[in-house]
Amino acid sequence: MTAVEEKDHFFRDLQDNENLMTEILGSSVDLVKRRITFHEHKNVQAICYYTDGLVDVIQIELFISDLLYKGNWLLQHTTLPTGPPLTLLKEHMLTNASFQVVKEVSQAVDGILSGVAVLILDGSDEVFVIQTKGWEKRGVDEPQTEQVVRGPRDGFTESIRTNTALVRRRIRDPKLRIEQMNIGKRSKTDVNIAYIEDIVKEGLVEEVKKRLRDIKIDAILESGYIEELIEDAPRSPFTTVQSTERPDKVASSILEGRVAIFVDNTPFVLVVPSFFWQFLQASDDYYSRFMTGSFFRAIRYLAFVLSLTLTSIYVMLVSFHQEMIPTQLILTIASGREVVPFPVLLEALLMEISFELMREAGLRMPKPVGQAAVSIVGSLVIGQAAVQAGIVSPFMVIIVALTGIASFAIPNYAASFSIRLIRFPLLIAAGTLGLLGFSAMFTLLAIHALTLRSFGESYLAPATPFQPNDQKDSIIRFPWWKMQMRPEGVTGDEKRVGDHQFPEPPNTDPYSKEGGKGKEEDQKDGSRKKKTRRIIKLKGEDEE
Amino acid sequence: MKVQISNGMFMALIINMIYAKAIGVTQGSMAREVGGDIWISTLIATIQGGVIMFLVILVIRRMPEGDLIDQAARLLGKWFGKFVALITFLFFLAAYGPVMSTFVFHLKDYFLPEAPILLFIIAAFLLGTYAIYFGVEVIARMALIGVFSIIALNILLMFGSLSEFDIRELRPTFQMGFLRTVWASRHHNTDWAMATIMAGIILPMVADKKTWGKMGFAGIGYGMVFIIMWPILEAGVLSPETAAQYIVSCMQMARSAQIGYFVHRYEMIMIAFFALSILTQIMMSLLCASVAMQKMLGLKDYRKVIIPTAIILSSFGYWINFDKNRAVDFLEGWWVYISIGVAVGLPFLILVMGFLFKKKLKKEIVAEEVK
């Protein structure tokens, strides 16, 4: 049992407290102990503890100077009510924005290790915990894994408070709740959960909190730890918790009734519950025009299908069902395969694994050395050289390259990796049992996906269970003036877009029946619009 | 919490349960008897199927918490319940033969002629047991997607074959006489029989009891709409004589359908869309047989008997399909009498018993409500 567990309350005597703290904290160079003596009143002594590097030094200096000079002056020149020194200090001298009084040693120690300053005063068994957090932070930068053409360029950082602030900037709703938790026996990582009180589905917040509270682990170093410990299907290749670096994505998820989980020291925020189709949707879909957004979303769906099945279908057709391929095409494929010594399945596996190797190498190697070298070697392995060497056929190169490109079109990295992973059993099944193997494995995957749930919600919703209203934001995205309701599952305030949001410009056609008048609403209270119309009319007359 | 499926899912299950066999294997059998009148036979069978479905819904409605087996047990005691469970088990055991025939004929004959039959049986065994372990909800959700693939399949086939359609092939109607056309409808009645007995087992799990009837008939109606296109096109495009020559006439039609140069062999796409329907048949047969077995043995959970039930059904499926002649004979002979006999006889028997033991049933219902 540690000293903290043995004795969790401070002594009144400063020396005893100092001994206790020395016993608990030991002698690390970054743990600073600063003894302060009030010169004119030597009977008042204090010790300030903080961790160098985690605190804002200027704040500490200001705080100590307040204590030493301002406090000293105040004590000499004003008549203060008598009482415990801690109360005097609290009520009359300390001007810090945030501080609290604690009694437990463990709480004070946790505070010191997380970047606050702890002031222990002689004669008091309570101590001050003063917020002085201030460590080096990375600036808000563009997310590395989820880039957009149109949309905000800010991404989450490693600081949890910056991250919650980025979301709070987007949702200035008093109903947005951000709750604090600490997870990890040794790391005591700050974890925040965010949701909108009158939108979030009933019971979801409690379920999230319960799952987080149930985590018993020594340290949480990244949100991936939490993801693995709270997900519904830990043995599944499908990821059932969405992670994102984009504050706008998190904000929109919260507005759709979901819960965001922020973890300190990582720019990846988790969103629950998650649905499979979300992983194929990008932020751009909502920022660009609905037709463009829908088109590119459809392209991504196609990319998903290609990435998952193209190689398998090719192997299946060439190995077992040649009659399904048009004669001219099969002749071309056969001539290309003439010099290849391997069966199609092996050829495909070789190419797929080479591709994965290159992707992994490109990711791990240092930028200045890696990327050019990998791309040169890559073009040799998956290219003309490999074909000329007789290792692979030109058709296989095209198939594997297309599959690879398709997998990169999937916006979520985790989902893209899952899809790449499940491609292999599908490929082996198709290459060994033809259509039967392919369809059996595909069906197994489908059954498995159908059984999945994410925080009680069906993973494949809104496709199954089929939710008609949510189809407006599934394969194609309807325009915003059509997506009036929040997704199903939201409770309370279900409406997100008001009525009559279809934009109608003023009618400027003088020959129309309405005689240059706009819609009914405009006629009722649209003095500004009427004016605009008149101006446009006059302009038109001028031009004539 | 008791598993519940939505009414839409129930409807989707009915559609899928009929579709896979009805569009090809059944049409081939009927074409051999009534030629171009297969579409009329299909319509007649649909009406008969509707009547049986009505009968089943009527029976289950009396005590909506229990399936056909539970109703029987409440009426005449535990042993009568076990007897009905045995009949239900035997029904789905027999059903597994034609279901596997449909599965094997489609895949083996058209895609993998050299593959041993055992391979298809094992694939069905693995898929079926895996799916039914998760319960009816998962199968029902697959069936819902299956409806969309059925729609896609029908639209694609129409695109590929309408240019070849000759309406003269459908004339004159009732070529073989009215009675023979009605008699030929028995082949399609076997498909309805599977759907209705399945309804007798799963209806208590369907959420909205008030609309059971409506949904049951909607399922029958939509099933008919999705299926009726096939006999009309098979007669009009292939000609009744050609359709009669093939065991799986729908595959022959898909083979001849041409959508474009690169989809010149359309049957593989057809199989992809058709797969969910045949898989629903496999899964529901296994599930219903497992439930019957569970009730026969008086167990609390059907999951314990999934593997033994699947082994029995798969062995039967293998034995039937090992010899193609045996498979076709069973499909067009024994199976017809077993399926229609059970599908009509069982609900009718329980309905009549219900009238005879009205008072006892009422007491049971009141006791149930008090619980």
Q: In tens digits, what is the pLDDT along chain A, a chain of 544 residues?
A: 454 455 678 888 888 888 888 888 888 889 999 888 766 665 678 899 999 888 888 888 887 777 777 666 666 665 555 555 556 666 666 666 677 888 888 889 988 988 889 988 887 888 888 888 887 788 888 888 888 888 899 999 999 999 999 999 999 999 999 999 999 999 999 999 999 998 998 899 999 999 999 999 999 999 999 999 999 999 999 999 999 999 999 999 999 999 999 999 999 999 999 999 989 999 888 999 999 999 999 999 999 999 999 999 999 999 999 888 888 889 999 999 998 999 999 999 999 999 888 888 888 888 777 677 777 777 777 788 888 888 899 999 999 999 999 998 988 888 888 898 999 999 999 999 999 999 999 999 999 999 999 998 889 988 878 888 888 888 888 988 888 888 877 777 778 888 888 888 777 776 766 555 545 544 444 444 444 444 444 444 444 3
Check if B299 contacts A (Cβ < 8 Å).
no
Q: Among all residues of chain A, which has the CA nearest to that of B279?
A: A443
Largest CA distance in chain B: 68
pLDDT at B167 over 90: no
Largest CA distance in chain A: 104
> What DSSP character marks residue B206?
B
Q: Is A125 exposed, middle or buried (0-12, 13-18, 19+ CB in 10 A)?
A: middle
Residue of A277, A450, A467, A488 to mutate, testing the B interface (most B Cβ within 10 Å of its Cβ): A450
A36 phi and psi, to 5 degrees? -120, 135
Distance CA A242, CA A230 (A): 12
Check if B120 contacts A (Cβ < 8 Å).
yes
Taking CB atoms and an 8 Å cutoff, what residues of chain A touch B273? none
Distance CA A537, CA A361 (A): 65
Q: Is B256 exposed, middle or buried (0-12, 13-18, 19+ CB in 10 A)?
A: middle
Q: Among all residues of chain A, which has the CA nearest to that of B108?
A: A436
The residues near A342 (Cβ < 8 Å, ≥ 6 apart) are A350, A391
Check if A380 contacts B (Cβ < 8 Å).
no
Give the Å distances, CA to CA, from B52 to A237, B55, B70, B327: 44, 5, 19, 26
Distance to chain A for B50, nearest Cα, Å: 26
For residues A13 and A111, the answer to whether their CB atoms sit within 8 Å is: no
Q: Which segment of A298-307, A459-468, B186-195, B323-332 scores lowest on mean pLDDT?
A: A459-468
Distance CA A5, CA A24 (A): 10
Q: What is the DSSP string of A195-231?
A: EETTTSPTTHHHHHHHHHHT---S---SHHHHHHHH-
pLDDT digits (tens, 9 = 90+) for B121-138: 999 999 999 999 999 999
**How would residue B344 be classed by pLDDT, with cut points 50, 70 and 90?**
very high
- Helices within chain B (DSSP H only): 7-22, 25-34, 38-62, 68-76, 78-110, 117-133, 136-161, 178-184, 186-202, 212-233, 240-245, 249-256, 267-297, 306-322, 324-332, 334-356, 358-370
Interchain CB distance below 8 Å, A444 and B265: no
How far from the centroid of its chain's Cα atoms is residue A52's Cα? Answer: 30
For A:426-465, CB contacts with B below 8 A are 433-436, 439-440, 443-444, 446-447, 450-451, 458, 460, 463-465
Distance to chain B for A54, nearest Cα, Å: 50
Radius of gyration of chain B (CA): 20
pTM of the model: 0.86
Q: Is A366 exposed, middle or buried (0-12, 13-18, 19+ CB in 10 A)?
A: exposed
Per-position b or e across B257-270, b if 16+ CB within 10 A of its CB:
beeeeebbbbbbbb
**Token reading at A181:** 């938790």
Interchain CB distance below 8 Å, B138 and A450: yes
3-state secondary structure of A49: strand
- Helices within A382-412 (DSSP H only): 384-388, 394-408
Distance CA A271, CA A259 (A): 6
Q: Which run of H or of E encompasses A359?
A: helix A344-364
Q: Residue A267, preceding bond cis, omega within 30 degrees?
A: no
pLDDT digits (tens, 9 = 90+) for B346-371: 999 999 988 888 887 777 777 766 76
3-state secondary structure of A383: coil
* pLDDT given at position A88: 63
* pLDDT given at position A541: 47
Please state, as a whole number, how many other Cβ atoms lie within 10 Å of the Cβ of residue A518: 18
Distance CA A209, CA A232 (A): 14
Q: Which of A329, A436, A443 sits opposite B279 (nearest CB)?
A: A443
For residues B124 and B47, the answer to whether their CB atoms sit within 8 Å is: no
Q: What is the DSSP string of A448-508?
A: HHHH-EETTEETTTTTTTT-GGGGGBSSSBPPTTT--BPPTT--S--B-S-SS-S------
Radius of gyration of chain A (CA): 32
Interchain CB distance below 8 Å, A443 and B127: yes
Distance to chain A for B309, nearest Cα, Å: 20
* pLDDT given at position A183: 94
**Token reading at B134:** 């998760």
Interchain CB distance below 8 Å, B142 and A450: yes
Residue A397's identity, in one-letter code, is V
Distance to chain A for B80, nearest Cα, Å: 35
* pLDDT given at position A206: 95
Q: Which run of H or of E encompasses A167?
A: helix A160-170
User: Hunting for tokens 């009143």 — which residue is that?
Assistant: A41
Q: Is A536 exposed, middle or buried (0-12, 13-18, 19+ CB in 10 A)?
A: middle
**Token reading at B202:** 């799963």
Distance CA A365, CA A45 (A): 55
Q: Which of A320, A435, A440 sits opposite B271 (nearest CB)?
A: A435
Per-position b or e across B162-184, b if 16+ CB within 10 A of its CB:
eeeeeeebbeeeeeeeeebbbbb
Taking CB atoms and an 8 Å cutoff, what residues of chain A touch B266? none
Distance CA B287, CA B289 (A): 5
Residue of B103, B104, B111 to mutate, testing the A interface (most A Cβ within 10 Å of its Cβ): B111
The residues near A472 (Cβ < 8 Å, ≥ 6 apart) are A478, A482, A483
What is the rounded end-to-end Cα distance, in angstroms, of chain A?
93
* pLDDT given at position A514: 59
Interchain CB distance below 8 Å, B134 and A443: no
For residues A432 and B116, the answer to whether their CB atoms sit within 8 Å is: no
Q: With the CA atoms of B160, B165, B169 and B173 taken in that order, what torsion angle do they form, in degrees rounded to the nearest 10?
A: 90
User: Hunting for tokens 């290219």 — which residue is that?
Assistant: A383
Q: Which of B123, B144, B279 sits opposite A436 (nearest CB)?
A: B123
Taking CB atoms and an 8 Å cutoff, what residues of chain B touch A320? 111-112
3-state secondary structure of B46: helix
Interchain CB distance below 8 Å, B144 and A466: yes
Taking CB atoms and an 8 Å cutoff, what residues of chain A touch B286? none
Q: Which of A321, A329, A447 sits opposite B142 (nearest CB)?
A: A447
Q: What is the mean pLDDT of chain B?
A: 90
Taking CB atoms and an 8 Å cutoff, what residues of chain A touch B112? 320, 433-436
Distance to chain A for B6, nearest Cα, Å: 9
Q: A with B: how many residue pairs have Cβ under 8 Å apart?
A: 69
Taking CB atoms and an 8 Å cutoff, what residues of chain B touch A326? 261-262, 264
Residue of B138, B147, B206, B276 to mutate, testing the A interface (most A Cβ within 10 Å of its Cβ): B138
Distance to chain A for B273, nearest Cα, Å: 11
Taking CB atoms and an 8 Å cutoff, what residues of chain B touch A434? 111-112, 115
Check if B107 contacts A (Cβ < 8 Å).
yes
Residue of A332, A436, A442, A459 to mutate, testing the B interface (most B Cβ within 10 Å of its Cβ): A436
Check if B112 contacts A (Cβ < 8 Å).
yes
Distance to chain B for A326, nearest Cα, Å: 6
A164 phi and psi, to 5 degrees? -65, -35
The helices-and-strands tally (H runs, E runs) of chain A is 20, 12
For residues A262 and A160, the answer to whether their CB atoms sit within 8 Å is: yes
* pLDDT given at position B336: 95
For A:288-347, CB contacts with B below 8 A are 320-321, 323-324, 326, 329
